[in-house]
């Protein structure tokens, strides 16, 4: 039985990863278009191409991690080796060089590809650790819940700190946009804020390395197998693994939901939400409603969803709990569409919807990570080799695909709807007023479009065959098989 300190230490790893991931999801598209100075089309292609490369690199990293052998284990040492490059790459991504447009575009491609490559190098082995920290599926559920609780905690820290840090380090009174997003247009402020976040992430990755252990020796699982493990055999086994394909599809749908809705939030608050109107009617203009407040409420609600995931899964099963949670998130997301951008009543309803949506979303992630561990056991029973790193890298790959298409889709749709980017030719006026078409695009990106991704995810999950009862049978067979191998 793992100690509490080890569960907390495992959570620290995703606390660090999620701080970066949420800033990339929520603020990077806005940074590239409204601060860094890229066009919406170029920023969209940048997000797509870099993350597609990163998605391809995930299985390669999983294969490498599966074949790593050190005194610290297979996967855990990457937390130590990659922590510093992870922090440095994050700062470079939010650095705006004094280049012309083409030079800046090249810089953006190079730094973001570097960032995503380093993210893969630390996050894929970290995710695979769940399969070797315990062989018990219930304890894996607990580890996964600690992971996601701290992940959302890190997300809360990031979104609660990032806007205030940018304003703190800003050296001018100009803002990147008006309305409910009050961010400085000074690129140095964004870079300095990222330095603070990167330093925090570096420290928590080191703590995660120091507090965790690998207990399940996956090399010993293969000791009685005559056929030598090979990359080709591992990939062929993965491609024949039907539950893996289903989880891959589900993960892409959920990440599309998160990245579309998260990527649109900054624009939604900048150009649709009248922050002064909301707060003026409640606090007498003493506080400005910001995107950070809205997102922070979501992260707190996500943490509540994580807490509910284990008892809900025990009561109705992981599959049913997942479907119920993702449908809840989708239904209440669709309810965003009729909301007005003005008035206190609309604001409080918006926060209530955000809380319910985020509780549902929070339930899903610890369950899907636990399911990937179950898929590794299914693979071991069927093929004689669990390929933990390769299987867990697929979840990270799904994140990248979902994030790539979701983030790019936001920018391309805004461009199609005629969204005006500050600082560009069409935005010469001191105060920008978006067209009705652009506002319609923002409302759609925050409502029915991500809701459709939730519905599709629920439909795909309905096909998942590894029920809790089936997993109990698989684990009993594996215990017997491992005993035969040992003898």
CATH of the domain at 387: 1.20.1250.20
| Residue 400 pLDDT | 67
| C-alpha to C-alpha distance for 118 and 97, rounded to whole angstroms | 21
Higher per-residue confidence, 205 vs 395: 205
Chain mean pLDDT for the chain: 82
Query: pTM value?
Result: 0.71
As a whole number of angstroms, the distance between CA 359 and CA 125 comes to 27
Mean pLDDT of 86-113: 96
Residue 89 belongs to some domain of the structure: yes
Question: Is residue 340 pLDDT above 80, yes or no?
Answer: no
Domain residues for the domain of 144 are 4-215+237-420+431-486
Distance CA 149, CA 299 (A): 10
Separation of alpha carbons 433 and 435, rounded Å: 7
Q: What confidence tens digit (pLDDT) does each residue in 116-164 have?
A: 899 989 998 998 888 788 877 678 778 888 888 898 889 889 988 888 8
**How far separated are the first and last CA of the chain, in Å rounded?**
25
Instruction: State residue 264's pLDDT score.
Output: 87
**3-class state of residue 92 by DSSP:** helix
pLDDT number for residue 431: 58
pLDDT tops 50 at residue 78: yes
Q: Is the per-residue pLDDT at 41 higher than 50? A: yes
- Distances from the Cα of 260 to the Cαs of 330, 350, 406, 412, in angstroms? 13, 17, 5, 11
Per-residue pLDDT averaged across 39-60, rounded?
A: 82
Cα 342 to Cα 284: distance, rounded to the nearest angstrom: 15
- In a domain? residue 223: no
Whether pLDDT at 468 is above 90: no
What HEC string does the chain produce?
Answer: CCCHHHHHHHHHHHHHHHHHHHHHHHHHHHHHHHHHCCCHHHHHHHHHHHHHHHHHHHHHHHHHHHCCCCCCCCCCHHHHHCHHHHHHHHHHHCCCCCCCHHHHHHHHHHHHHHHHHHHHHHHHHHHHCHHHHCCCHHHHHHHHHHHHHHHHHHHHHHHHHHHHHHHHHCCCCCECCCCCCCCECCHHHHHHHHHHHHHHHHHHHHHHHHHCCCCCCHHHHCCCCCCCCCHHHHHHHHHCCHHHHHHHHHHHHHHHHHHHHHHHHHHHHHHCCCHHHHHHHHHCCCCCCCHHHHHHHHHHHHHHHHHHHHHHHHHHCHHHHHHHHHHHHHHHHHCCCCCCCCCHHHHHHHHHHHHHHHHHHHHHHHHHHHHHHHHHHHHHHHHCCCCHHHHHHHHHHHHHHHHHHHHHHHHHHHHHCCCCCCCCHHHCCCCCCCCHHHHHHHHHHCCHHHHHHHHHHHHHHCCCCCCHHHHHHHHHHHHHHHHHHHC
What's the average model confidence in pLDDT over 430-452? 85
CA 169 to chain centre: 26
The whole-number average pLDDT for the span 316-324 is 93
Average pLDDT over residues 232-251: 83
Does the structure show a pLDDT above 70 at 250?
A: yes
Structural domain includes residue 349 = yes
Residue 230, domain member (yes or no):
no
Q: Which has the closest alpha carbon to 50: 105, 117, 1? A: 117
Radius of gyration of the chain (CA): 22
pLDDT of res. 428: 46
Rounded to an integer, what distance in angstroms lies between the CA atom of residue 59 and that of residue 253? 19
Q: Is residue 426 part of a domain?
A: no
The predicted model gives 78-101 an average pLDDT of 96
Q: Is the residue at 279 inside a domain?
A: yes
pLDDT score for 177: 46
pLDDT the model gives residue 312 = 92
pLDDT of 182 > 70? The answer is no
pLDDT of 75 > 80? The answer is yes
Report the C-alpha gap between 107 and 100 in whole angstroms.
10
CB hemisphere CA count around 3 (13 angstroms): 7
Degrees to nearest 5, angle at CA 403 with 28 and 351? 70
Within a domain: 225:
no
> Out of 169-173, 178-182, 239-243, 280-284, which region has the weakest mean confidence (pLDDT)?
280-284
- Burial label, 349 (beta-carbon count in 10 A; 0-12, 13-18, 19+): middle
List, for residues 374-423, the tens digit of each pLDDT value.
888 888 787 766 666 677 776 667 666 766 677 788 888 888 888 887 65
The 10s digit of each residue's pLDDT in 258-311 is 888 888 888 888 788 765 555 444 443 333 456 778 888 888 998 899 889 989
Place of tokens 């699982």: 221
Domain-located, residue 332: yes
Total domains, the chain: 1
């Amino acid at each position: 039985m793992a100690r509490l300190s080890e569960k907390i230490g495992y959570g620290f790893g995703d606390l660090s990863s999620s701080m970066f991931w949420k800033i990339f999801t929520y603020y990077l598209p806005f940074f590239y278009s409204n601060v860094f100075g890229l066009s919406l089309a170029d920023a969209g292609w940048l997000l797509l191409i870099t993350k597609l490369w990163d998605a391809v690199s995930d299985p390669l990293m999983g294969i490498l991690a599966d074949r790593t052998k050190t005194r610290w284990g297979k996967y855990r040492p990457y937390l130590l080796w990659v922590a510093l490059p992870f922090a440095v790459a994050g700062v470079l991504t939010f650095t705006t060089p004094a280049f012309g447009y083409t030079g800046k575009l090249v810089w953006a491609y190079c730094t973001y590809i570097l960032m995503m490559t380093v993210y893969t190098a630390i996050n894929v082995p970290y995710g695979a650790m769940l399969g070797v920290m315990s062989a018990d599926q219930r304890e894996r559920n607990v580890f996964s819940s600690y992971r996601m609780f701290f992940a959302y905690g890190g997300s809360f820290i990031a979104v609660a700190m990032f806007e205030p840090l940018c304003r703190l380090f800003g050296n001018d009174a100009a803002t990147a946009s008006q309305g409910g997003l009050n961010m400085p247009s000074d690129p140095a402020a964004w870079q300095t804020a990222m330095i603070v976040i990167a330093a925090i992430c570096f420290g928590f990755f080191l703590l995660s390395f120091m507090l965790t252990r690998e207990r399940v020796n996956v090399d010993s699982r293969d000791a009685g197998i005559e056929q030598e493990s090979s990359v080709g055999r591992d990939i062929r086994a993965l491609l024949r693994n039907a539950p893996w394909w289903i989880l891959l599809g589900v993960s892409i749908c959920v990440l599309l939901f998160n990245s579309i809705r998260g990527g649109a939030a900054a624009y939604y608050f900048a150009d649709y939400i009248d922050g002064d109107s909301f707060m003026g009617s409640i606090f007498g203009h003493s506080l400005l409603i910001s995107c950070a407040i809205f997102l922070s409420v979501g992260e707190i609600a996500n943490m509540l969803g994580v807490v509910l995931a284990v008892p809900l899964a025990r009561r109705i099963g992981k599959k049913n709990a997942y479907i119920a949670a993702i449908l809840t998130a989708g239904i209440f997301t669709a309810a965003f569409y009729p909301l007005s951008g003005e008035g206190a009543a609309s604001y409080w309803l918006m926060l209530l919807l955000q809380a319910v949506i985020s509780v549902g979303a929070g339930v899903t992630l610890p369950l899907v990570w636990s399911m990937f561990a179950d898929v590794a056991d299914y693979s071991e029973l069927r093929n004689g080799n669990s390929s933990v790193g390769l299987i867990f890298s697929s979840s990270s790959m799904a994140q990248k695909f979902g994030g790539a298409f979701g983030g790019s889709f936001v920018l391309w749709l805004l461009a199609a709807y005629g969204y005006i980017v500050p600082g560009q030719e069409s935005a010469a006026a001191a105060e920008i007023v978006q067209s009705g078409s652009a506002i319609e695009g923002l409302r759609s990106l925050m409502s029915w479009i991500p809701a459709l991704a939730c519905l599709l995810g629920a439909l795909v999950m309905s096909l998942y065959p590894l029920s809790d009862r089936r997993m109990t049978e698989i684990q009993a067979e594996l215990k017997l098989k491992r005993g035969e191998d040992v003898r």
